[in-house]
Amino acid sequence: MLLESPPDFGQVGKSSLAISPSVEPPDDPTFDSAKLSPEPLRLVSKKRSAVRKINEDPWRTYEPGMQIYLGREVILAQHRENNMELVDVQKLQQTPSPVEPMLQFMGQISHSSFPSLKECFVHDGCIFLVWEPLELSVSQLLAVKSPIAESELAAIVRPVLEGIQYLRSCGRALATLSADTILLTESGEVKIAGVERSCELSKAEMNAATLKLFALAGIVDKIIGKTLPSYPWSGEAKSLSRDLKTLSLEELLQVSSASSNFAAKADQIEQTLEKTGSPRSPEDVSEGSQQDRLP
């Protein structure tokens, strides 16, 4: 088994290295529901109702804060009545395609490897997707001087494999996968951004490349590559990048078993980001800056 011990991130927050996560912009800042199939998903879990659509200004409900980049540009916001409730608000330009098919689609997605879409606001020609709050990306973990241990590698890889397997069972695959789109919540759960842009694939089209296992192999190479040559990687870890390109999902999940509790890592990385003046984003948008705040 690849890593049966829980992750230990005790040293990460002690790094003094400034964080420089990837700042590549999202591929498409507009929403086009025509890219989503109107056909119902072949679900493997309980079907839910469509995500709620609200035709009003989201900033009547939420107080916008800083702009951050977590797999896509979002605004960290706080509920005006319940200040303990934080969300990530993604602003998209509305297209002629209706938003309802996407909301129905997201209502059918039910898997812990993907962020939860809480609600959707439509206002002034824009769509505002309200997501559960996320803390950090794997890109930011890679930017910290402290290496990522083998147990931490497994705790990243397994939830991603489970999410890919879930989408495959629905006849779909992620449109993109990178270190920017693999994220952590405050409680340490691993989430994959971009499920709303996943695409349909036939069985004949499904392979290691189209399911984004090649992309995951590249991320594994980056994680292993940042450790010292003397680090005692197991045989399973050393072969993981190759295995992602050659083994089935079921075989991969048998050799990537580990705890995915990243709470300590997320908390310490967050403290490091704050100390270096770059909290969770390459762009620190001050809460008091009227110029950078959304209306």
Residue 173 sits in a domain of what CATH number?
A: 1.10.510.10
State the pLDDT confidence band at 257, using cuts at 50, 70 and 90.
low
| pLDDT greater than 50 at residue 142 | yes
- What pLDDT is recorded for position 272? 53
Task: Please check whether residues 44 and 139 belong to one and the same domain.
Answer: no
What is the share, in percent, of the chain residues with pLDDT greater than 70?
70
Write out the two tokens for 260. 């995915």
* Domain that includes residue 122, residue range: 33-131
16-30 in b/e form (b: 16+ CB < 10 A) is eeebebbeeebeeee
Q: Is residue 181 in a domain?
A: yes
Task: Please check whether residues 110 and 143 belong to one and the same domain.
Answer: no
Domain boundary among 103, 131, 159: 131
Q: Is residue 145 in a domain?
A: yes
| pLDDT greater than 70 at residue 148 | yes
State the pLDDT confidence band at 26, using cuts at 50, 70 and 90.
very low
Task: Please check whether residues 143 and 270 belong to one and the same domain.
Answer: yes
Our count of domains for the chain comes to 2
Question: pLDDT by residue (tens digit) across 149-169?
Answer: 898 899 999 999 999 999 999
Enter the pTM of the model. 0.73
Task: Please check whether residues 143 and 124 belong to one and the same domain.
Answer: no
Q: Is residue 294 in a domain?
A: no
| pLDDT greater than 80 at residue 55 | yes
Domain boundary among 77, 98, 131: 131
Over residues 217-246, the mean pLDDT reads 92
**Residue keyed to tokens 């206002």:** 123
Question: pLDDT by residue (tens digit) across 102-116?
Answer: 899 898 888 999 999
Task: Please check whether residues 231 and 99 belong to one and the same domain.
Answer: no
Task: Please check whether residues 85 and 209 belong to one and the same domain.
Answer: no
Q: Is residue 288 in a domain?
A: no
Task: Please check whether residues 80 and 190 belong to one and the same domain.
Answer: no
Tell me the C-alpha distance between 192 and 177, whole Å: 8
Q: Is residue 280 in a domain?
A: no
* Cβ partners under 8 Å of residue 32, min gap 6: 95, 97
Q: Is residue 211 in a domain?
A: yes
Q: Which amino acid is it at 114?
A: F
Over residues 9-36, the mean pLDDT reads 34
State the pLDDT confidence band at 186, using cuts at 50, 70 and 90.
confident
Q: Is residue 5 in a domain?
A: no
Q: Is residue 70 in a domain?
A: yes
Task: Please check whether residues 151 and 258 belong to one and the same domain.
Answer: yes
Task: Please check whether residues 82 and 174 belong to one and the same domain.
Answer: no
Query: Taken in order 212, 136, 273, 240, is the CA torsion positive or negative?
Result: negative
Domain boundary among 112, 131, 150: 131
